[in-house]
Chains A and B, each alone.
Chain A
Amino acid sequence: MIKTHREAITGAQAAAYAMKQIEPDVVAAYPITPQTPIVEYFAKYVADGVVRTEMIPVESEHSAMSAVVGAAAAGARAMTATSANGLALMHEIVYIAASMRLPVVMPVVNRALSGPINIHCDHSDTMAERDSGWIQLFCEDSQEVYDLILMAVRLAEHEQVRLPVMVNQDGFIISHGVEPVELLPDDVVKKFVGELKPLYPLLDTEHPVTYGPLDLYDYYFEHKRQQIEAMKNVFKVFPSIIEEFYQISGRKYNFVEPYKIDDAQYVMVALGSTNGTIKYVVDKLREQGKKVGLLKIWMFRPFPKAEIQRLLTGRKAVVILDRSASFGAEAPLYEAIKSSLYDVASRPLLGSFVYGLGGRDINPELIEFAFEKAMKHELVTDQELYLGLRE
């Protein structure tokens, strides 16, 4: 086992520390609460000469993503980080980064999208990028932030994938909460992430390439199909990356994390930090002999449908918690789970709960309440319910 050291740090620090160890060639970033400390910590590493990274203090997130696209196309390992309005401002270029198949890794500190303006956590920012062609990972705590950013580099740069990755952490709850995090030695991380093998770099003037051509009805569709295939390849290559990471860290990841699920009749599904609270409630209800469990989603895009089908078929009820709404339609995680379960042999009863918008607190009582509803079979498919809301 490799010797790690344990430090009490925030999620933002964990992200910055992972970035320091990855030591990308270029970081272009713009501050926005609650992502700001990531940029600040990283800028200090640069200023102190701890990393050889060239930092571009851009004038906006649109330019951050644009510069990262330029740097990655040039052949550099390039990163940025953002939140909410910053991610929305990047939106146009988020799609372009994916379509150019640039292996960019971006920590996203989830915050409610304006309006009205709000600085606290929900997942509306990242959900707006759901179909952008980025891989989306979600973290429960700072440890996962650190670990998943390191694994994201390998995933993004894998030759069968070559897609950008967002590593989501809940604003303030993770980004500003101090927790003990096991940190790997620099050389171990360096070895794990390896060197970027640039594909078609712009700076290779002997082999000039054209990035971003006009692509009309005669080829665009085929190129989109290639992106679809690359996303599917994530299912093939991620298992070996997580296995390798397990070898160096002793921490085992997957597409999803089942928690006390083996004999569970009532299962909750959620993204991000709320999973920690749900585990606490599951433990408590288990002590009372209730057959409850949790399915935590680590990877939201591509959506691990097969795992979900395998793990949720035959349950009595499944409660899906969403920290974002889709106005006029089902909440995104609920929708994805529901459609995944269309084909299973034995479909569970489903319940949709939207919670925590704009940073509204979620507590064990509310989670217990949602479990109670499931256990009393009071769930009505497609009836969206709200936790912690004044009606």
Chain B
Amino acid sequence: MPLTMKKLAEVFTNKEIGLTQGHRMCPGCGAPITVKIALMTAKALGYEPVIGFATGCMEVSSTIYPYTSWSVPYIHNAFENVAATISGVETAYRALKKAGKLPSDKKYAFFAFGGDGGTYDIGLQSLSGAIERGHKFIYILYDNEGYMNTGNQRSGATPPGADTTTAPVGKKIPGKVQLKKNIVEIVAGHEHVYAATATIGEPMDLMTKVEKALSFEGPSFIATLSPCVRFWRVSEDKTIDITKLAVQTKYWPLYEVDRGVYKVTRKPSSFKPVSEFIKIQERFRLLLQSPDAEEVINEIQNYVDRRWERLLALEEATKDKPIR
């Protein structure tokens, strides 16, 4: 029986999720919601989560000494090395288990959480190395499309036209000009990996993917769109709506790549234009006022359309053809 929201609600009435109250994230921030769904799924399935966390907004806000919001084992090492760090933890687990120094019945789940900066950019090498080596861990990217902890700087995940302090919308340049890096394809290219996208507006889809990742014999990676209400400049009650809109506009298609086999996990019966996703966020306000607005929006629309068609084609082409 797959997990349901009702089941989670029952289980966690009297049980700690692992991320407790008292953290100092902005109300409405997407990151802790993502983390909680992942932890609840793991715990409800009988796993003991052990967490690695990359430097970033959530890390600094959840562990201000002498306080911690974590009631599960947690390690933050640095910004770019959460994958390598958790690979050390997971290897220690195997070594100590082999030596009979750990209870044999305990089911551990090793999670690494990183922001888009810690994943697409500075932590990419560490992530690639850990996946290539085949450690059994679940990497959850919380993508808020910028370096938010340090005040909204551009990352490889920032979309074109978004105003950031290091790629500001100026008189000559309309903000960031490059499209987002396709991180899922990069990860899926490691082949022996379960890679997926997900988002908190579609919690059942996210839970199912976490569940698959937990049972996958090897590394898994889930890229979640986790809005930053502060720097996307949206009101704090819009977090979930905006991620739903991201799915409905093809901005954040929901799919998975299981050892090369593509599966689109949500196929909306109708789509909305990507401009609807863009227009409700103040981070695009300056773009929208600029003469380049139409061109940039068209570029994004064309891109998401082409990517969607390509995903459907890949789904068809890779059906029952795992590469490993």
Residues 94-119 of B at the A interface (beta carbon under 8 Å): 94-96, 98-99, 101-102, 106, 108
Contact B75 A63 (CB under 8 A): no
A67 at the interface (CB under 8 A from B): yes
Of chain A, the residue at the smallest CB distance from B52 is A70
Residues 39-94 of A at the B interface (beta carbon under 8 Å): 52-54, 56-60, 62-63, 66-76, 78, 92-93
Kindly state the separation between the CA atoms of A92 and B59 in the bound complex, as whole angstroms.
Answer: 18
A187 at the interface (CB under 8 A from B): no
Contact B125 A28 (CB under 8 A): no
B87 at the interface (CB under 8 A from A): yes
Contact A28 B88 (CB under 8 A): yes
Contact of A213 (CB < 8 Å), options: B76, B128, B132:
B76
Asked if A57 meets B133 with Cβ closer than 8 Å, knowing A93-B81, A203-B108, A208-B73, the reply is yes
Please name all residues of chain B whose beta carbon is closer than 8 Å to the beta carbon of A216 when the two chains form the complex.
64-65
Please name all residues of chain A whose beta carbon is closer than 8 Å to the beta carbon of B63 when the two chains form the complex.
210, 212-214
Contact A209 B73 (CB under 8 A): yes
Please name all residues of chain A whose beta carbon is closer than 8 Å to the beta carbon of B129 when the two chains form the complex.
58-60, 63
Contact B126 A203 (CB under 8 A): no
Contact B77 A96 (CB under 8 A): yes
CB distance from B137 to the nearest CB of A (A): 10
Contact A213 B96 (CB under 8 A): no
Contact A67 B72 (CB under 8 A): no
Per-residue interface assignment for chain A, residues 279 to 319, with 1 indicating a CB less than 8 Å from any chain B CB and 0 otherwise: 00000000000000000000000000000000000000000
Max chain B Cβ within 10 angstroms of own Cβ: one of A54, A60, A209: A54
Residues 246-262 of B at the A interface (beta carbon under 8 Å): none
A204 at the interface (CB under 8 A from B): yes
Please name all residues of chain A whose beta carbon is closer than 8 Å to the beta carbon of B11 when the two chains form the complex.
none
A219 at the interface (CB under 8 A from B): yes
B216 at the interface (CB under 8 A from A): no
Max chain B Cβ within 10 angstroms of own Cβ: one of A53, A68, A209, A212: A212
Per-residue interface assignment for chain A, residues 163 to 204, with 1 indicating a CB less than 8 Å from any chain B CB and 0 otherwise: 000000000000000000000000000000000000000111
Of chain B, the residue at the smallest CB distance from A28 is B88
Kindly state the separation between the CA atoms of A78 and B108 in the bound complex, as whole angstroms.
Answer: 20
Of chain B, the residue at the smallest CB distance from A218 is B65
Contact A54 B94 (CB under 8 A): yes
Contact B73 A78 (CB under 8 A): no
Contact B75 A211 (CB under 8 A): yes
Contact B64 A70 (CB under 8 A): no
Residues 211-256 of A at the B interface (beta carbon under 8 Å): 211-216, 218-219
Contact B86 A70 (CB under 8 A): yes
Asked if A212 meets B75 with Cβ closer than 8 Å, knowing A28-B88, A203-B96, the reply is yes
Please name all residues of chain B whose beta carbon is closer than 8 Å to the beta carbon of A204 when the two chains form the complex.
73
CB distance from B160 to the nearest CB of A (A): 31
A159 at the interface (CB under 8 A from B): no
Contact B99 A67 (CB under 8 A): no
Q: Compute the total of residue contacts between A and B using a CB distance below 8 Å.
A: 164
B78 at the interface (CB under 8 A from A): yes
Max chain A Cβ within 10 angstroms of own Cβ: one of B95, B99, B129, B133: B95
Kindly state the separation between the CA atoms of A204 and B78 in the bound complex, as whole angstroms.
Answer: 22
Kindly state the separation between the CA atoms of A171 and B71 in the bound complex, as whole angstroms.
Answer: 46
CB distance from B47 to the nearest CB of A (A): 10
Contact A70 B72 (CB under 8 A): no
Contact B88 A214 (CB under 8 A): no
Asked if A62 meets B88 with Cβ closer than 8 Å, knowing A25-B95, A203-B50, A213-B64, the reply is no
Of chain B, the residue at the smallest CB distance from A215 is B65
B177 at the interface (CB under 8 A from A): no
Kindly state the separation between the CA atoms of A236 and B130 in the bound complex, as whole angstroms.
Answer: 40
Contact A60 B93 (CB under 8 A): no
Of chain B, the residue at the smallest CB distance from A97 is B77
B91 at the interface (CB under 8 A from A): yes
B68 at the interface (CB under 8 A from A): yes
Kindly state the separation between the CA atoms of A52 and B98 in the bound complex, as whole angstroms.
Answer: 8
Please name all residues of chain A whose beta carbon is closer than 8 Å to the beta carbon of B93 when the two chains form the complex.
74, 203
Contact of B102 (CB < 8 Å), options: A69, A203, A210, A215:
A203
Please name all residues of chain A whose beta carbon is closer than 8 Å to the beta carbon of B74 when the two chains form the complex.
202, 208-211
Asked if A71 meets B88 with Cβ closer than 8 Å, knowing A25-B96, A66-B81, A203-B50, the reply is yes
Please name all residues of chain B whose beta carbon is closer than 8 Å to the beta carbon of A269 when the two chains form the complex.
none
Contact B73 A205 (CB under 8 A): yes
Residues 24-57 of B at the A interface (beta carbon under 8 Å): 48, 50, 52
Of chain A, the residue at the smallest CB distance from B70 is A210
Kindly state the separation between the CA atoms of A387 and B86 in the bound complex, as whole angstroms.
Answer: 47
Kindly state the separation between the CA atoms of A54 and B133 in the bound complex, as whole angstroms.
Answer: 13
B191 at the interface (CB under 8 A from A): no
Contact A73 B89 (CB under 8 A): yes
Max chain A Cβ within 10 angstroms of own Cβ: one of B71, B88, B93: B88
Contact A66 B92 (CB under 8 A): no
Contact A59 B128 (CB under 8 A): yes
Please name all residues of chain A whose beta carbon is closer than 8 Å to the beta carbon of B84 when the two chains form the complex.
58, 62-63, 66-67, 70
A26 at the interface (CB under 8 A from B): yes
Asked if A66 meets B73 with Cβ closer than 8 Å, knowing A76-B96, A203-B108, A216-B65, the reply is no
Q: Lowest 8 A-B CB distances belong to which pairs?
A: A70-B88, A59-B129, A67-B88, A76-B92, A74-B92, A212-B76, A63-B84, A66-B81
List 5 additional contacts besides A210-B63, A211-B74; criterion CB under 8 Å: A25-B92, A25-B96, A52-B95, A71-B88, A203-B108
